[in-house]
Amino acid sequence: MVTRLDLGSISVDVVRKGIKNIHLGIYPPAGKVRIAAPAWMELDAIRLFAINKLAWIRQQQKKLRAQMRETPREYLERESHYVWGRRYLLRIVERDAAPSIELTHRHLNLQVRPGSDAAKREALLADWYRAQLKQAVPALLAKWEPVIGVCVERLYVQHMKTKWGSCNTVARHIRLNTELAKKPPECLEYIVVHELVHLREPTHNANFVALMDRYMPHWRDCRDMLNRLPVRNEHWDC
């Protein structure tokens, strides 16, 4: 059940769950505010928590509303697509054979069966991006798990509308957004480190920041780069 808190011009959706700590999230594209709170927590306490975070909420909303959006993709010949931060021109190859995707110096070659529509082409590319990410992450886990002193039990790679990554600190699972395969590799590494550090410190408190500073001193530069890049143009149902 969702409870609505109105704090002046800002509305906050509150969801009570069987969790230990309160969590605040600001979601694209317009900066919708949601709080997940422990089931036992009084609404007045949640309201006070939100009031104390109003300056931060407004700052995050401003950033989200200013972030560039990609132009809608139609999956047509010579359309721009990005792989690991580099721009490629889409080349459609119609052939009565199994679909495939190949990268050359300047082109992203998408082989499809004759008559395939945009939805089919989009699905093929989405699966390919997912495979690229799954291939890239194990080496990063092997690099960073022993450094940070954690072990991931399971990795999920999926399209996520509101986050670049997330983790389950109890099950030791992490989830990564397939859109990261379009961004520079250092952005993926930053998100992997971010989620691994969360396995040691679940919240974004001073200890979390200190751990990030210790393991990846340039993490803020990577975060800012990721936040400057255009995000997928779609309806964010949050």
Q: Which of these CATH numbers, 3.30.70.260, 3.40.1010.20, 3.40.50.300, 3.30.2010.10, describes 80-228?
A: 3.30.2010.10
Burial of 62 (0-12, 13-18, 19+ CB in 10 A): exposed
Predicted pLDDT at 233 = 52
Report the chain's mean pLDDT, rounded to a whole number: 90
* pLDDT tens digits for range 145-186: 999 999 999 999 999 877 899 999 999 999 999 999 999 999
Burial of 119 (0-12, 13-18, 19+ CB in 10 A): exposed
3-state secondary structure of 55: helix
Predicted pLDDT at 136 = 98
- Give all strands of the β-sheet with 23-27 in edge-to-edge order: 2-7, 10-17, 32-38, 23-27
Show the tokens assigned to 96.
């009565």
Predicted pLDDT at 236 = 40
Q: What is the pTM of this model?
A: 0.74
Predicted pLDDT at 153 = 96
pLDDT of 76 over the 70 cut: yes
Separation of alpha carbons 201 and 189, rounded Å: 18
* pLDDT tens digits for range 86-131: 999 999 999 999 999 999 999 999 999 999 999 999 999 999 999 9
Better pLDDT: 230 or 120: 120
Single-letter amino acid code for the residue at 182: K
Report the pLDDT averaged over residues 195-211.
94
112 touches 121 (CB < 8 A): yes
pLDDT of 140 over the 60 cut: yes
What Rg do the C-alpha atoms of the chain give, in angstroms? 20
- In the chain, domain spans: 2-57, 80-228
Predicted pLDDT at 69 = 66
Least confident of 54-68, 129-143, 150-164: 54-68
Tokens 């050359």 locate to: 104
Report the pLDDT averaged over residues 218-222.
95
Most confident range, picked from 18-22, 28-32, 213-217: 213-217
Single-letter amino acid code for the residue at 102: E
